[in-house]
A and B are shown apart, each in its own frame.
Chain A
Amino acid sequence: MLVEIGHFAMILALALSATQAFFGLTGAALKRERWMSVATSAVTGQFLFLALGTATLVHAFVVNDFSVKYVANHSNSALPLFYRVAALWGAHEGSLLLWICVLGVWSIAVAWRGAKLPADYLARVLGVLGVVSFGFLLFLLTTSNPFERLLPAAIDGADLNPQLQDFAMAIHPPILYAGYVGMSVSFAFACAAMLEGRRDHLWARWQRPWTVMAWAFLSCGIALGSWWAYYVLGWGGWWAWDPVENASFMPWLAGTALIHSLIVTDKRGLFKSWTLLLSVAVFSLSLLGTFLVRSGVLNSVHSFAADPARGIFILSFLVLMIGGALALYAWRAPSLGSDVGFEMVSRESFILFNNILLAVATAVVFGGTLAPMIADTLGLGTLSVGPPYFNPSFLIPTIPLVALLSVGIHARWRRGQLSLSKQRILGTLAVAVVVALGVVYGIYGSTRLMTPIGAVLGIWIILSSLVDPLLQLRRRIALPVGVIGMTVAHIGVGIFVLGITFVESSTIERDIALARGQSHTIGGYEFRFLGVENMEGPNFDGVRGHVIVTQGNKVVADLFPDKRRYFVQGTVTTKAAIGAQWNRDLLAALGEDLGSNSWSLRLQYRPMIRFVWLGAAIMALGGVLTLFDRRYRTAPVAATASVQTTGEPVQASS
C-alpha cells in the first residue's frame, strides 16, 4: 500500500515538473510574475513528492518488503541495514530514482539561493530544470518503474551483489550523481541566458559557483569509484578505461574546461559562445553516458539490463534537449562576439589552450569508447580498444596541458607580461628538475622515459602554483579566497600527476605460491605468509589469510586478505589487504588453496598510489574554497538596466 502511495507521489512529481517547466519558461517569456512564482513553488512541491516517493521505497527495503519486485531482486533479509538502504541505488531503476532525487535537491538549492537573481532569469533556469526532471521522471515511470509489485511475494530477496556491499561503493553513486546532476544546473543557467538572448556576461558569474560545486562532487565521485575498484578488485588497478568509467570521466574533462572558460567570461566578457557551448557539451556528455550504459549499444558494456527500448527513449530525450540547446546556440551565439582582445601571450590565451587541450582529451576518450561500436556499424569489423590504446593516446594532449599550466599560471590578464615572471618560471623549473631527478633515480631507480618527465611536470606544477601566492604573502598582501582556492586546486593537479607517474612506473607485482611460514621479498619488503583461518560474517563465510610485512627488521604491515562466499548468490569475492602509507601501498590478495597449507598469493608494492586520490580530493577542495570568495556573496547586479550593450558590466559591487 505504501509503495503504491509512493508510486502515485511520483506521478504527482511528474505533473509538477511539467508545471515547473511550463510556467517557468512561458512566465519568463511573457514576463508574468505570478507565473514565474508558480515555477518556484512547483520546485518545492516536486521535491516533497519525490521525497515521499523515495521514502516509501526506502521503507520497503528497510522492512524487507519482498512483494516489491525491485526489493526482491536486490536485497535480502540477511543484508545489513546500511546496505539495504544503499541497495536502493544498486540497479537501474533505483539509480534513476536517485538521479531524479538529486536533481530535486539541486533545484531546491537553486530556487533558494537564486532568489537574488533577476526573476525572469531564475524562472528560466527552473523551467529548464523542470524539463530535465520531466524527461527523467517520464523515463522512470514508463520504462523503469521501481515500484512494481512482485506477486506472489518472494520469500526472500536475491541479495545485493556482494561486490557492492562495501562502504565506498555505497556512497559512490550519490556523490557522483551530485556531480552529474549539478552539471544540469550549469546547463540550465546557460540555456536561460540563451533563451533570454542576453548580450552581457553577468550570467557567467551566476553560473560559476554552481558549476564548480558540481565539478567538485564529480571529482570526488570518480576518485571514490577508482579507489573502490582498487581495493575491492584486489589486483591493484585503479583505472581501466572501461566504457562506464569513461562515461563519467568525459563530463569531468569537459567540466574542467567549462570552469576555466567561465572564469574568462566572468572576468572579461570573452569566450561567451565557447562557454555556452561547453555548458551544453558537459550536460550532453552526462546524458550520453546515461545512454551508453543503459541501452546496450556498446559491445563491451552489458551493464544495466541492456534494453534497446530504453535506449530509444534516452536517445529521443537527448535529441530534444541537446538538439534544442544547440539550435539555441546557433541562433544566439553569432551576436555574442565581443570587441576586446588580448595579447598572444596572456592569461586568456593560456586558458584558451587549456580548454582546447581538454577538449582534445575528451575527444580522444570519446573516440576510443565509441570506436568499437562505430567500426561495427560501418562494417569495418571488430575493433577492440583498451588501456594499451587509451594510455598513450591520452598523454598526447595532457602532457602539453600540464606543462603549460606551470607557465601560464604567472600570466596576467590581457598582457601576459611573462617576462616579469621569467625568473620564477625558470627557477621553479630548475628546482623541479633537480628534485624530480633526485627522487626518480635516487629513490625509485626507474629507467622509463615517462617517469622523469612526469615527475618534473608534477613538481613544477606544485612549485609554480605556490610561488606567486607565497611572494604576495611575503609582501603582506592579503590573498583573496579565490586565489587560495585556485592554488590549492592546482597543487592537487600536481600531486595527481606525481601519483600517476610513480605508480605506473615503479609498481612491482608478483604472483607466488607460498607455504605457511614462507616469505617473498619485493621492493625491499618481505612478505611472510602465516596461513589462513576460517571466518564468518552476517551474510557470508570464508577464509582469512595473514601476511606480515617487514622492512629490514621492522614490521611495517599486518595484512589480512580474505575470500568470502556470500550465502545467497553464492559468489565468492576476494578482498585484498592493503598496508597503506602516504607514499606507498603494500597489497596482498589470496589466490587459490594449493593444498598442504600452501596458497597462491598476489603481492604488490605500489608507490605513491595514494597521491592519485589525494590529488583528486585536493582539486575538489580547491574548487570548493573558491566558492567562498567575496564576489559571490554580493548581490548580483539587478536585471538589464545596468548592463550596457558593450557587455561591460557596471562594476557595482565586486
Chain B
Amino acid sequence: MNAARLRARLLAAAFALATLGAVELAFAVDNTPQFSDPVLQARYYGLTHELRCMQCQSEALADSNVGLAADLRMEVHKLIESGKSDAEIRDYMVARYSEFILLRPRMSLRNLWLWAAPGLLLIAGIVVALRVLRRRARLPIGEEPVGDDPVS
C-alpha cells in the first residue's frame, strides 16, 4: 500500500517516460497568463482542478508537471476567453477524452447512486444505531465496571 504508493509514483514517472519518451519531465508550473477578471481566474482555477491530467496518477491539470497538462490548461484558458461556460468546457473535454477526464463525476441520473450514497449510508447508519440503542435501553443496566475510572 505504501510501497504501492511508491510504485504508483514510479509508474507515473516511468509511464510518462515511456510514452512521452521525454528525457525531461519539465515541471511546467502554470505559464498561462492570469486573467485580469478575478471571476474568470476563479473559473480557471476551478476547472483546472476538476479536470484530470490524463497521463498522471490522480493529478489535476492544475497540479501536473507534464506537457499535455500545460497544453490543456492553455486550451481551458482559450475556451474561457472565448466566452464558453464551465459546462461547455467540460463537454468539450469529455467529447475528446471521455468522462475519465473529469475528477468530479457528473451529476446525472446515472451517477445519482454515487452522489447519493454517502447521505443514504449515513441515514441507514443512524437507523441501525437507533434500533440497537432502543433495544439496549430496555435491558437491565448491569453492574458498574469495577475498579475503573468512570469516564475512562
Contact = CB atoms under 8 A, between A and B. Distances in A.
A569 to B, nearest CB: 8
Contacts of B37: none
A384 B5 contact: no
B86 interface: no
Given A92-B7, A341-B139, A344-B133, A176 B103 contact: no
Contacts of A302: 8, 11, 15, 57
Contacts of A482: 149, 152
Interface residues of A, number: 114
Contacts of B152: 480, 482-483, 486
A389 to B, nearest CB: 6
Given A225-B2, A356-B128, A380 B30 contact: no
A244 B8 contact: yes
A509 to B, nearest CB: 9
Interface in A84-115: 89-92, 94-95, 98
A423 to B, nearest CB: 16
A268 B145 contact: yes
A347 B14 CA distance: 51
A176 to B, nearest CB: 4
Interface in A318-377: 339-344, 347-349, 352-353, 356-357, 359-360, 363-364, 367-368, 371
A600 interface: yes
Interface string A227-259: 000000111010011111101100000000000
Given A359-B125, A384-B99, A414-B141, A572 B114 contact: no
Contacts of A95: 3-4, 7
Interface string B1-26: 11111111111011101000001111
A289 B102 CA distance: 24
B110 A386 contact: no
Contacts, number: 270
A260 interface: no
A161 B10 contact: yes
A368 B31 contact: no
B141 A592 contact: no
Interface string A625-638: 00000000000000
A543 to B, nearest CB: 12
Contacts of B29: 511, 589-592, 600-602
A568 interface: no
Contacts of A592: 26-29, 31
Contacts of B105: 371, 383-385, 389
Contacts of B9: 161, 163-164
Given A340-B140, A412-B151, A572-B27, A393 B118 contact: yes
Contact of B118 (A340, A341, A360): A360
A384 B111 CA distance: 10
19 contacts: A92-B3, A176-B3, A225-B2, A240-B58, A241-B58, A248-B5, A267-B148, A290-B1, A290-B4, A341-B138, A363-B117, A367-B114, A371-B105, A388-B103, A389-B105, A414-B144, A486-B152, A591-B30, A592-B31
3 nearest CB pairs, A to B: A591-B29, A386-B103, A341-B139
